[in-house]
Amino acid sequence: MSSQTSVNPALVEWTGHQGLPRFDAVKDGDFASAFDAALAAHEAEIDAIAGNSEKPTFTNTVTALEIAGDELSRVSALFWNKAGAHTNETIQGLEREIAPKMSRHYSKIGTNAALFSRLDALWEGRDGLGLTLEETRVLERHWKGFVKAGAKLPKAEQERLSAINEKLAGLGAQFGQNVLADEKSWALLLSDEADLAGLPDFLRDAMAAAARERGEEGKYAVTLSRSIIEPFLTSSARRDLREQAFNAWVARGANGGKSDNREIIRETLALRAEKAKLLGYGNFAELKLDNTMAKTPEAVNDLLMTVWKKAAARAAEEEQDIAALIAEEGRNHEVMPWDWRHYAEKIRTRKFDFSETELKPYLQLEKIIAACFDVAGRLFGIKAVEQKGVPAYHPDVRVFEIRDRSDKLVALFLGDYFARSSKRSGAWMSSFQSQHKLPLKNGDVGELPIIYNVCNFAKPAEGKPALLSLDDARTLFHEFGHALHGMLSNVTYPSVSGTGVSRDFVELPSQLYEHWLTVPAILREYAVHYETGAPIPQALLDKVLAARTFNAGFNTVEFTSSALVDMAFHTRGAVEDPMAVQGDVLSEIGMPKSIVMRHATPHFQHVFAGDGYSAGYYSYMWSEVLDADAFAAFEETGDAFNADMAAKLKGNIYSVGGSIDPGETYKAFRGKLPSPEAMLKKKGLAV
C-alpha cells in the first residue's frame, strides 16, 4: 500500500482463511498510521481520475471510482468493526479523531471540481452512452452523491458544508460512545434471595456471569443490555427494583456530566438543518428522503399516523387489562412503564397458557442458528460450514463458509452472538468486503462477500446452553436476513452490492426472513428442549403461534412514537430544546403515560450516532408493509418454501442489491406494490 514501513500489511493484505483478514496480526496501535497511508493513497487515485487527460468515459471515471480506495475500505472495515463490536479506550480515542478526518477526506472528494465535471458530462450525456440499467444506477448514485456533497455550490458554501459534515461526524462518534459509557458504568448488583424473586434460572445465570465480568463473584448484576434488562423487567416480582432498573435504562445519555448527549442532539439538529438549506432542501428530512421509496415526509407521516391511531387504541385496551390484573392482585398503583412487561407476561401466560420461561428451554442459540441456515438452504440452496480454529476479532466470534448446491464458496460469514462490555448494544449486520465483479489492481476479478452479524445475547455459564427469548430468536433471523442480502448479492459494481439500497428498502430482506422462524415445520424441527431433546409440544407451539399478535399495541406504540419524533426533529429544523420537542410530539399524539419511546432521544443511536437512520427510523415500518405482503405471496401458494417464489425472491430481492429501482424490483417479484393492509393484519391491528 505504501512505502511507509510503519504500516502493518495485515490491515490491507488479507491472507487469512479464504481471504479473511488476519485479525490476530492486527494491533490497536496499527490503525493510525494505516489510516494516514490509506487516505493518502485514495487521494492520489482520485487525483489521477480527475486529472485524466482523456475524454471522460464510464470506464475511466465511474468504474475507476468504484475500485479506488480499496486500502482505505479495508482499514476502515477493520476499524469500525472494532469500534462497534470490541472497543476500548485506545480505539475510542482514535474514533473521535478518525470520524472527522474521514468526513474531511470525502468532503474534499465531493467538491473536486475536475472530477465532478467528468461525472456531470457523463450524466448529461447518459442517454447516448449505451449503459446497462445497473451502470445507469451506478452513475446516478455517484452524480447525486457529488451534488449532495456540494459539488454545485460556490466555494464558500462548499467549505461550510465540509465543516458541517466534519463536525457532525465527530458528534455522532461522541454520541455513541456516551451511550456505551452509560451502559457500561451502571449495574444493579443483587445478592439477597428476596431481590431475586421471580427471576428464572436462565436469567440468574446471565446476571451471575455479568457480575463476574465486573469482578463481583457470587452476586447478580442487572445490566442495561437488552438481553438482561428486558427479561428482568418481565420476570422480577420486585416493583421497586424494576423501577430502579427501568429508570436507569431510559436515562442513558441524559445523566448529566461528560456522557450527557442532550447538547450533542441540539447541535446535531442545527447543523443538519443548515446542511439541508445549503443543498436547497426545505429541511433535513426532505434531503434524506430524496432517494427513497417514501419520497416525502408527508408520505412517511401519513403511514405512521395511520398505524399510530390503531396501535394507540389497541394499547389502551391492553392497559385496561393490565390495570385490572393489578387491582386483582390487591394493589392500587397505576400502570407505569416498569409494570407493563411484568403484567403483560402474566396476562399472556393466563390467556395463552404459556410463558417465555416455559418457551425458552426450547430456543437454544445453537438450534436457532441451525434453523437460520436450514431456511436459507431450503429457499436459496446454500449451506453453512463452520470453520473451527479460524481466528476472528474476538474469541466468541464464529466463522462459516457459505457454499452453494455445487459446493462452490459464495461467501464468508462471521457470527458474533454474545453481549460484552466492549460491544455497543443492539444487533447489526455489516461487511468486511462486498461482492462485486470488477477487475482489481492486484489482478483479481471480483471479490467474495465477507459478512458479519453482531448480537447481544446473554452469555450462559460455562457448560450451559445459551437460551433465547422469542424476540432474541427473531433478532437472530432478522440480522441473518441482512447477511443473506450481502451474501447472495450478484452485481457487477460494489456501490450497489448487497445492502447498497435505499434506507426504506434495506429492512425488507431482514424483516421478511423473520417470518420463517415461526413456520411450524421449522419450529418443530429446531425448537427442541435443551435437556431432553424433545421437540416443542404441539400444544405449546399452537399457543406460541396464537400469541404472535399479543401486546401488539404496546410494541407498535413504542416504535411508532420513536419514528414520529425522528421525523419531527428533521422537519422542524434547528430547535433550542430537543427534549421539549420530544415532549410536544408525544403530547400531540397522545402518548400513554404507561409506555415510553423504544429509543428516547438521548440514546437514539439509529438517529444520532451517525445519520444512517436519521429521518429514516420509519423505514422499519415501511419495509414491514413490504415484508408482510411478500410473505403473503408464499402463503398464497400454501407452501412457505415454494420453489418458484423462492427463485423470484432471490432473483429480484436478495441478489440485485441497488442495481434496480426498489419499486420496480419489488413489482418484478410480487407483480404489484403493497398496501399497509397485510402489515396491519400481521400485527393484529386490522379491523
State the CATH number of the domain containing residue 505. 1.10.1370.40
Q: Which amino acid is at 46?
A: I
For residues 198 and 209, give the distance between their C-alpha atoms in angstroms, rounded to a whole number: 18
- The DSSP-derived string for 285-306 is HHHHHTTSSS-SHHHHHHHHHH
The answer to whether 364 and 370 are in contact (CB under 8 A) is no
230 lies in the same domain as 370: no
Of 499, 514, 546, which marks where a domain is finished? Answer: 546
For residues 96 and 93, give the distance between their C-alpha atoms in angstroms, rounded to a whole number: 5
- Give the tens place of pLDDT for each residue, 106-128: 999 999 999 999 999 999 999 99
Residue 195's pLDDT is what? 98
Residue 687's pLDDT is what? 62
* Residue whose C-alpha cell is 451534488: 147
Output the CA–CA distances (angstroms, integers) from residue 20 to 403, 404, 432, 492, 559, in the order listed. 16, 19, 9, 21, 37
Question: CA 233, 239, 241, 243 torsion: positive or negative?
Answer: positive
Of 509, 526, 546, which marks where a domain is finished? Answer: 546
| Residue 425 within a domain | yes
Residue 147 confidence class, pLDDT cut points 50, 70, 90: very high
Residue 31's pLDDT is what? 97
The answer to whether 468 and 360 are in contact (CB under 8 A) is yes
Q: Is pLDDT of 146 > 50?
A: yes
For residues 375 and 513, give the distance between their C-alpha atoms in angstroms, rounded to a whole number: 9
Which residue pairs from 341-350 have beta carbons closer than 8 angstroms and sit at least 24 positions apart in sequence?
341/230, 341/233, 341/234, 342/233, 342/234, 342/235, 342/236, 342/239, 342/242, 344/234, 344/318, 344/550, 344/551, 344/554, 345/234, 345/235, 347/321, 347/322, 348/547, 348/550, 348/551
The DSSP call for residue 283 is S
Helices (H), 497-551: 508-514, 520-526, 538-546
Q: Is pLDDT of 105 > 90?
A: yes
Of 211, 230, 251, which marks where a domain is finished? Answer: 251
Residue 3's pLDDT is what? 42
Residue 129's pLDDT is what? 97
Q: Is pLDDT of 565 > 70?
A: yes
Range of the domain at 494: 361-546
| Residue 534 within a domain | yes
H or E element in which residue 507 lies: none
| Residue 618 within a domain | no
| Residue 258 within a domain | no
Q: Tell me the catalytic residues.
A: 479
224 lies in the same domain as 366: no
For residues 633 and 131, give the distance between their C-alpha atoms in angstroms, rounded to a whole number: 33
- Give the tens place of pLDDT for each residue, 179-218: 999 999 999 999 999 999 999 999 999 999 999 999 999 9
365 lies in the same domain as 486: yes
- Give the tens place of pLDDT for each residue, 305-356: 999 999 999 999 999 999 999 999 999 999 999 999 999 999 999 999 888 8
Average pLDDT (287-297) is 93
The answer to whether 552 and 311 are in contact (CB under 8 A) is yes
H or E element in which residue 219 lies: none
User: Over the chain, what is the mean pLDDT?
Assistant: 95
Residue 4's pLDDT is what? 45
Q: Is pLDDT of 154 > 90?
A: yes
What percentage of residues in the chain have a pLDDT greater than 90?
Answer: 93
Output the CA–CA distances (angstroms, integers) from residue 587 to 323, 503, 580, 583, 590, in the order listed. 22, 28, 10, 6, 5
| Residue 413 within a domain | yes
Look up the pTM and report it.
0.90
Cell numbers at 231, concatenated: 427479561
What percentage of residues in the chain have a pLDDT greater than 70?
Answer: 99
365 lies in the same domain as 243: no
| Residue 345 within a domain | no
The answer to whether 439 and 422 are in contact (CB under 8 A) is no
The answer to whether 175 and 253 are in contact (CB under 8 A) is yes
Q: Which residue has the higher pLDDT, 44 or 355?
A: 44
Please give the tally of structural domains in the chain.
2
- Give the tens place of pLDDT for each residue, 402-439: 999 999 999 999 999 999 989 998 999 999 999 999 99
| Residue 483 within a domain | yes
| Residue 205 within a domain | yes
